[in-house]
Structure 1
Amino acid sequence: MTYRNPVVPGFYPDPSAIRVGDTYYLVNSSFNYFPGVPLFESHDLVNWTQIGHVLTRPSQLPLKGAGTGGGIYAPTLRYNDGRFYMVTTNVSFGGNFYVYTDDIHGEWSDPIAVEQGGIDPSLYFEDGHAYFMSNGDDDEGNHGITQCEIDIATGKKLTPSKVIWTGAGGRYLEGPHLYKVDGSYYLLASEGGTEYGHMMVYARGDNPFGPFTNYAGNPVLTNRNLGGYQIQGTGHADLVDDGHGHWFLIHLAFRQLDRWIQHHTLGRETYLTPVQFGADGWFTAGDHGTTRAVMSAPGLENVVQKPRLLPLSFHNTAIGREWVTLREPDSARYCFDQDVLALRPNQYGLEEREVSPTALFMRQRAFFSTVRVTVDVTANAAGLAAYMTEDLHYDAIVERVEDQVKVARRLRVGPATTTDHVHVLPAGPVTLILETTNYQYHFYAEADGERFDLGEADAHYLSSENAGNFTGVMLGLFTEQTDEPDADWIKFSDFAIEYPKEEDVE
């Protein structure tokens, strides 16, 4: 059987995966979006279903003032003695912490802080001991992959923090994970930066604290030399087995706008690459050390890959699952009944950097899609956005002006904001349409049977290369106060996302 990458398309970066029995679980970074740390489930490693988020309460996820480069960085998911643990870093508030649950489909605990600093934390359990590692400085000021033993009940350090590995020689050593396979300890990490030089490296030792010997073939996985190939930035992996001797790397990569244009808009996505252990105990990965769009792997012969993207509407999406907010929301301003979404605007717009505007966002998961929503604005303004950051977003906006509505396109690119393609229409519902491709975002409006072209804008301006961030484009339904602070709710209806084709990667 062959399968197509990415297995989880869209802005789902820094994956960490485990197997418990015959079920796999996966978590991803979420940065300044609430709730945090998307949680997925699978029975075959290829087909994944989101079952919620890990961090669902403000007590777990303070985000005030967290910008697009803040909030929740790379999480690690682990399972020990009947309990699930998720450890991560809130780079805006508090640093490293973990939460736990005995029911993966239920609520998770409040955070338990860990005394060790750094980012990209991980846990390793063995014989009643809990080891915590991160990339940062140890107690003597040495920099590298740093580890200590902790009391898993309290997060307190039981041993000093010690650098156990300094990597294979690349820059930006990060994302460490420790495993024990056939009596040997494997330390896996990323180097090169989470960009075009990204790569996976590893080392092996006989003790959880080393010393570790580098794999002679490092990097074990990278697409950094695949010129003219759409999948780039391969790295930040977790190693998982199927219980039958087959091993895989769950890792991130991104898709350029095409095979030659070095811009990506969808963010870093989740990919699956097979691993092969040799008789000498060292492993190799992928297609000669690379990740490809179409792959096959032992252990997946009987797996049938389902469509990765299905049409979406208000009926099969939910706030807190597909729909998220920027930072912690004022929940009293949201009402969702599966037919109509009602939002009550506050004084904050999409340029807000401290708190949460009244807006909902969903990840753009494909280059090619059509998004539709009908907006009924009785006061103030609302619209449909392709949002990358506070400084980079394209909007179609409907504003109530007395007994009329003004429909326009608004482009925010850095310090420049333009509003054009303005149409003044009789008051009433307006349907906003966004057609996306790998090159363009094209807005339209429909009212009273007439269609208005609001113009197109280049996709590459919303890329991570321009934004300098780690997220991807989000599709947003937003509101803005333009006149009445305590006006009626704004209603959104007939929301739909359709995907015209299963996208092929070149």
Structure 2
Amino acid sequence: MKYLNPVVRGFYPDPSICAANGKYYMVCSSMHIFPGVPLFESTDMVNWKQIGHCLTRASQIDLYSVRSSGGVFAPTIRYNNGRFYMVTTNDSYHQNFYVYTDDIYREWSEPVIVDQDGIDPSLYFEDDKCYFISNGNDTDGRGCIQMCQIDIETGKKLSESKFLWHGTGGRFLEAPHIYKFGEYYYLLEAEGGTEYGHMVNYSRSKNIWGPYTPYPNNPVLTNRNLGGYQIQAAGHGDILEDNDGNWWFAHLAFRQIHMWQTYHHLGREVCLVPVKWRDDGWFEIGVNGTTPIEVELPDNIKFTPQKFSYDKTFENLDEKLDWCYIRIPHMENYKFDKNGLELKGTDVTIDDVASPTFAGIRQTEFDLDINCDVIPGAEKSGISFYMDEKHHYEVVVEKNESGTFVYSRQTIGCIWQESKHHKINADKVTLHIKSEAMQYHFFFKDENGNDVFISDAETRYLSSEVAGGFTGTIIGLFAINEKGDGVSRFEKLSVKHEA
């Protein structure tokens, strides 16, 4: 039996995994999007259900004015002595910290700061000791992996930071984890940048402080040589042994929009590949060192077939799990109910490095059919496809002294354009978007329910290859008031994908 990658789709990068109480848990980066650090649970490593976030309060994370793709970088989740720990970086403030909880389904603690620089921190526990690992630069300015021992109760360093390994020479040495399997400590990392040259390497030592000997066949995993293959950028990830003795590597990768179109706009996603141990104590990752779309499952796994079709509506979207916001939201401007959403606009727009009135869900598939009724009360409201404040598309319903108009607006860097403004004579307008891998098609419905074409927009201009950054497209409902305080209502939302 086979499963398909990615196993978690859309903007969920930099996965880290752990096992506890017969189940598996995963966290991912969230950057400047709030709530921070999505948290997932699984019983078979293939099917993952989101159960919460680790950072749900403004007191835990300052995102108020962070740049796009700043904020919360790669997290690590670990379980030790009945407690879960999530360690991460607020890159905008060059601050490493961890939070913890004794109940994975409840709130996490306030942050505990660790005074070691670098990003992509990890924790390793052994014999009542805790080690803190991150990337960094040595005294010569070369990229390296560094480690110190900390007091897990306070975050205080109990040793100086020591440089462990400089990697294999690839750029952007990152994503370190340390494990002990048998008599060896294994130091895992990623290099090449979280893009088309991404790769995974590792080394080992019988002493946790080194010296570390590189795996002779590094990189142990990469898709960098698979031209014309949809899954690219296989890299940054984490290793786990499941309850049945199978070994796994969960890692980031992305799907490009076409086999020969090297753009991706859904963000970095979670893929899963097997780990195979060799007799000499080294291990191999993936299928011939790569991540394929289809992967054969071990016979001893109890597996529920994946489901990719869905229809997301106001009725089945969870306010706390599914909806997300640009930076820290002003929740007094949001009102959810089982039939819809009311948004009170402010003068903060989607172009600003701030928090507009914007409630979003991650785009997880290329092909979507999206419908939503908008009852305009704010000056401008509608549906946005958001990558960052300089790269986003909107279908806008504008209400002004001349009437109500529908049009599209496309922002690509310092360039923007608006389509023809269509005047409507109704209190409600239905917006309709058809999403494909390479294009969005924007429509509204006339009084007879027929599509009226507004414009098309190319997805590649929302891609990381154009926009830069580390996020993925978010489908958002928004409202803007430059002067007034009007409220727009959204009803009958449907975001539908048929696999």
Alpha-carbon shift at residue 166 of structure 1 (Å): 1.0
Kindly tell me: are residues 141 and 191 of structure 1, through their superposed partners in 2, closer, same or farther at Cα, counting changes over 3 Å? closer
- Cα-to-partner distance string for 1:167-216 (whole Å, 9 max, x where unaligned): 12222110000111112111110011101000000111112111111000
- Partners of 2:219 and 2:298 lie apart in 1 by 22
Correspondence for 2:100? 100
Give 1:301 deviation, angstroms. 4.5
Count of residues paired in the alignment? 498
1:42 alignment counterpart: 42
Given that residues 346 and 482 in structure 2 are in contact (C-alpha distance below 8 angstroms), is that contact kept between their aligned partners in structure 1?
A: no
Matched, 1:490 2:488: yes
Residues 161-310 of structure 1: pairs in structure 2 closer than 5 A: 161-298=161-298, 301-310=301-310
- Decide whether the 8 Å contact of 2:142 with 2:166 is kept in 1: no
2:468 maps to: 468
What's 1:133 paired with? 133
Deviations, residues 250-309 of structure 1 (Å, cap 9, x unaligned): 000001111111100111000000010011110011111000000013256541322035
Alpha-carbon spacing, 1:493–1:218, altered in 2? closer, same or farther (3 Å): same
Residue equivalent to 1:425: 424
Q: Is the contact between residue 343 and residue 358 of structure 1 (CA under 8 Å) also seen in structure 2?
A: yes
Q: Which amino acid aligns with 1:392?
A: H
Match of 1:158 in 2: 158
Distance 1:208 1:142 in 2: 21
Q: What is the rounded CA distance, in whole Å, between the counterparts of 2:336 and 2:343 in structure 1?
A: 9
Instruction: Please give the secondary structure, in 1, of the residue aligned with 2:235.
Output: strand
String of CA shifts for 1:22-64, please: whole Å, max 9, x gaps.
2000000000001000000000000000111110000011102
Q: What pairs with 1:328-347 in structure 2 (closer than 5 Å)?
A: 328-347=328-347
CA contact (8 A) 1:403 1:426 kept: no
Q: Report Cα offsets for 1:83-131 as digits up to 9, x if no partner.
A: 0000000011351000000000100000000000100000000010000
Which residue number in structure 1 is paired with residue 325 of structure 2?
325
Name 1:440's counterpart in structure 2: 439
Counterparts of 1:313-462 in structure 2, within 5 Å, are 313-353=313-353, 355-402=354-401, 404-450=403-449, 451-462=451-462
Residues 190 and 235 of structure 1 are in contact (CA less than 8 Å); yes or no, is this contact kept in structure 2? yes
The aligned counterpart of 2:12 is 12
Q: Give the counterpart letter for 1:424 in structure 2.
A: K
Contact 1:138–1:161 (CA under 8 A) maintained in structure 2: no
In 1, the alpha carbon distance for the partners of 2:330 and 2:309 equals 30
TM-superposed CA distance for 1:322, in Å, is 1.2
- SS of structure 2 residue aligned to 1:116: coil
Amino acid across the alignment from 1:285: I
Match of 2:432, as an amino acid? Answer: I
Contact 2:244 2:300 in 1 (8 A): no
Q: Which runs of 5+ in 2 are unaligned?
A: none
1:15/1:26 contact within 8 Å kept: yes
Distance in 2, Cα, partners of 1:136 & 1:491: 48
Q: 1:260 to 1:140 in 2, by over 3 A?
A: closer
TM-score for the superposition, normalised by structure 1: 0.96
Find the residue that maps to 2:406 and give its secondary structure. strand
Q: Which residue does the alignment assign to 1:27? A: 27
Deviates more, 1:109-118 or 1:453-462: 453-462
Show the counterpart of 1:80.
80
Paired with 1:344 and 1:456, the residues of 2 have a C-alpha distance of: 28
Measure the CA separation in 2 of the matches of 1:151 and 1:299: 42
Equivalent residues of 2:44, 2:302 under 8 A apart: no
Could you tell me which amino acid in structure 2 is paired with residue 26 of structure 1?
A: M
Distance (Å, rounded) in 2 between the aligned partners of 1:18 and 1:139: 33
Instruction: Give the secondary structure class of the aligned counterpart of 2:310.
Output: coil
In structure 1, give the amino acid aligned to 2:495: I
Question: CA separation in 2, counterparts of 1:57 and 1:476?
Answer: 21
TM-score, length basis structure 2: 0.97
Per the alignment, in what secondary structure is the counterpart of residue 421 of structure 1? Answer: coil
Alignment root-mean-square deviation, CA: 1.4
**Partners in 2 of 1:142 and 1:287 — Cα distance?**
32
In 2: Cα distance, 1:240 partner to 1:257 partner: 30
User: What's the secondary structure of 1:135's corresponding residue?
Assistant: strand
State the shift of 1:359 in Å.
0.6
Residues 81 and 427 from structure 1, CA distance in 2 versus in 1: closer, same or farther, beyond 3 angstroms? same
| AA of the residue aligned to 1:291 | T
1:251 alignment partner AA:
H
- What do residues 451-487 of structure 1 show as CA deviations (whole Å, max 9, x unaligned)? 3111111111111100111011110101111441x33
Preserved CA contact (<8 Å) 2:378 2:480? no
Q: What is the deviation of 1:143?
A: 4.1
Asked whether the equivalents of residues 335 and 343 of structure 2 are also in contact (C-alpha less than 8 Å), the reply is yes
Kept after mapping to 1: 8 A contact 2:143/2:172: no
- Over 3 Å counting, the alpha-carbon distance change for 1:80 and 1:67 in structure 2 is same
SS of the residue 1:341 aligns to? strand
Partner secondary structure for residue 420 of structure 2: strand
Tell me, in whole angstroms, the C-alpha distance in 2 between the residues paired with 1:430 and 1:54: 37
User: Structure 2: which amino acid aligns with 1:126?
Assistant: E
Separation in 2, partners of 1:302, 1:80: 26
State the one-letter code of the partner of 2:318.
Answer: A
- The 10-residue stretch of structure 1 (74-83 or 423-432) with the greater mean CA deviation from structure 2: 423-432
In structure 1, how many angstroms separate the alpha carbons of the residues matched to 2:453 and 2:289? 46
CA distance in 1, matches of 2:384, 2:184: 50
Is the 8 Å Cα contact of residues 363 and 473 (structure 2) preserved in structure 1?
yes
Change (3 A) 1:224 1:143: closer
Q: 440-449 or 280-289: which moved more?
A: 440-449
- Give the secondary structure class of the aligned counterpart of 1:92: helix
